[in-house]
Structure 1
Amino acid sequence: MSNVLAELIELLKLEAIGVNRFRGQSQDLGFRNLFGGQVLGQSLSAAIQTLTEGDWAPHSLHAYFLRPGTVTDSVEFEVEVLRDGRSFATRQVKASQNGKAILTMMCSFQHPEAGFDHQNPMPDIKGPEGIPSQLELARMFRDYFPERVRDIYTADQPIEIRVLDPVNIFAPQKKEPVKYAWMKADAPMGDDPHVHATMLAYASDFNLITTALHPHAVSVSQKDMQVASLDHSVWFHRPLRMDEWLLYAIDSPNAGGARGFCRGQLFNQQGELVASVAQEGLMRKIDLNAKSGEGKA
């Protein structure tokens, strides 16, 4: 296992600091605030650690991002046990920094059972072979990034992501609000399904809201764009492995009111739909002159 992947798995494990209370460290990915996927993965990890014995698997989570998190402070998680039934268990998680809530999550777990089975077909698109990764592209355009984040964006990454027909974030052009991205961990992760589930929750926050920016020819790299996750839901349909290629098929059917809505489906290479995702995010264009006071009468 690579060092960067081992560090991420450790980041998602958390430290127990009391009854149903946990602490996690923060990671700086070069964004303006704490990466929302980190708090999602850690919140799911906290809920998992409160489960009773048994073969529990997460089947859904629904989270609201309440405040932007900082990369300099640890995150504390408080889990409320709402229900432990024969088939389902439900948890509520509050993530806080410096005594203020930054995320609240409801998540539900189920004992695996047989039932009716159908799914959408996997999109017929090019496989991951031969597609440059986002890291390779970042290294090609290294000098375009601000010096503050240049080393972060071009460092080894625990999850390799390969986007078909990627947008040039430094010169975005209008395109349909659709994105296909292959992703997987950069090394084997072992067989614990909970580790793979928390890693999926983490990675599911990549590439979503940026898809809603496509029709507007803007990107998150612009100083006049304020972009942030507002809420996030994941449904786990079938067993999955994050150390094997997954196709993230994303579309954005709507934007309005300074918000963009995005949907994602995750397929393994056997064509199985393993998870679905939905998110609404803030996508606000800021008048920098008004903000700084320049240009005012």
Structure 2
Amino acid sequence: MSGLLTALDLTDTGARTNEDIFTGPSQWMPQGRVFGGQVLAQALVAAQRTLAEDRIVHSMHGYFLRPGDVKLPITFSVDRIHDGRSFSTRRTQAYQDGVPILSAIASFQDEDKGLDHQIAMPGDLPDPESLPTTAESLASLDHPVARYWASERPFDMRYVPSPLFISVDGPQVAHQAVWLKSVGAMPDDMNLHRAALAYASDYSILESIMRRHGLAWATPGIKVASLDHAMWWHRQARVDEWLLYVQESPNAIGGRGLALGRIYDRSGHLIASVAQEGMVRPPR
């Protein structure tokens, strides 16, 4: 948790020149590439820094342009595209060594009343307490990636029906669900919870594509990478309480797959919706 909170605590490096420029650290990852959810969340935090706290994000669309290097910090440049009576728009570019690695645009809105409906949360799913933790699922493996997944990620993730770390058990279907929450308590800043939810939304969503084709993360020669990411925040929720991330893939073609996700709280409120296209290339 301390690593996540440190990563989201950006430094205002543009204050002296009156520019909207921020810098954040990169979290260590076992393969040396910056986790996409980290740079998404940091880009959102950078944009939030240019707005009043009560104008909150409702949508974000980003493109992953290049892999990030965990050995380098990341610079975020924010453009104040629009400020209206109810909505604001911000564009954030993330750079390492002067080269862009992410380009994102986000929209923010003052809280307002209006029409209210949602798709219901799926029923008949096991409670998270009844499912094995990631650490329990990987207890038999002594590998740097397995150790990282088991004990160093800031979110506890529990799979329905089972994880895809080593193998794909059960039917090869294009859907799954994951219970998740942060491994420790978060501050009460709800903007921080929204950014942390963006972070967690990049976990596991492409697995709905992989599960359909019987591909596990340990498949020799498999190549998986996020290409873009879209997210819509609907209702408030804390990420240090259990959330259900329902995922499905409607299509895969040309080395790319599309995955869609919905995030619910335990009471069944739809908190956010997610869409991501990713490169998924099986071994040849």
Q: Are residues 1:244 and 2:214 paired?
A: no
Equivalent runs, 1:140-155 vs 2, <5 Å: 140-143=139-142, 145=143, 148-155=144-151
Q: Are residues 1:136 and 2:133 paired?
A: no
C-alpha spacing 1:161/1:141, structure 2 compared with 1 (3 Å): same
Specify the SS of the correspondent of 2:161.
coil
Specify the SS of the correspondent of 1:43.
helix
1: CA distance between counterparts of 2:128 and 2:3?
A: 25
For structure 1, the residue ranges without an aligned partner over 5 or more in a row are 288-297
C-alpha spacing 1:70/1:56, structure 2 compared with 1 (3 Å): same
Contact 1:30 1:153 in 2 (8 A): no
Aligned residues: 278
Specify the SS of the correspondent of 2:128.
coil
Give, in angstroms, the shift of residue 193 of structure 1. 0.8
Specify the SS of the correspondent of 2:129.
coil
Contact 2:134 2:149 in 1 (8 A): no
Contact 1:77 1:96 in 2 (8 A): yes
Task: Name the aligned partner's letter for residue 100 of structure 2.
Answer: A
Equivalent residue number for residue 122 of structure 2: 123
2: CA distance between counterparts of 1:45 and 1:23?
A: 11
Equivalent residue number for residue 76 of structure 2: 77
Q: Which moved more, 1:277-286 or 1:38-47?
A: 277-286
Cα-Cα RMSD: 1.5
TM-score by length of 2: 0.93
Q: Are residues 1:112 and 2:108 paired?
A: no
Q: Are residues 1:199 and 2:200 paired?
A: no
Give, in angstroms, the shift of residue 281 of structure 1. 0.2
Tell me which stretches of 4 or more aligned residues in structure 1 moved more than 6 Å.
none
TM-score by length of 1: 0.89
Task: Name the aligned partner's letter for residue 106 of structure 2.
Answer: C
Equivalent residue number for residue 64 of structure 1: 63
Equivalent residue number for residue 253 of structure 2: 256
C-alpha spacing 1:54/1:42, structure 2 compared with 1 (3 Å): closer
Equivalent residue number for residue 165 of structure 2: 169
Q: Which has the larger radius of gyration?
A: 1
Contact 1:135 1:157 in 2 (8 A): no
Give, in angstroms, the shift of residue 232 of structure 1. 0.3
User: After superposition, what is the alpha-carbon deviation per residue over 1:39-77, rounded to whole angstroms, capped at 9, x for unaligned?
Assistant: 0000000000111x3511100000000111111111111
Equivalent residue number for residue 39 of structure 1: 39
For structure 2, the residue ranges without an aligned partner over 5 or more in a row are none
Task: Name the aligned partner's letter for residue 11 of structure 2.
Answer: E
Contact 1:96 1:102 in 2 (8 A): yes
Q: Are residues 1:157 and 2:157 paired?
A: no
Give, in angstroms, the shift of residue 96 of structure 1. 0.9
Give, in angstroms, the shift of residue 286 of structure 1. 4.4
Equivalent residue number for residue 223 of structure 1: 220
Specify the SS of the correspondent of 1:201.
helix
Equivalent residue number for residue 271 of structure 2: 274
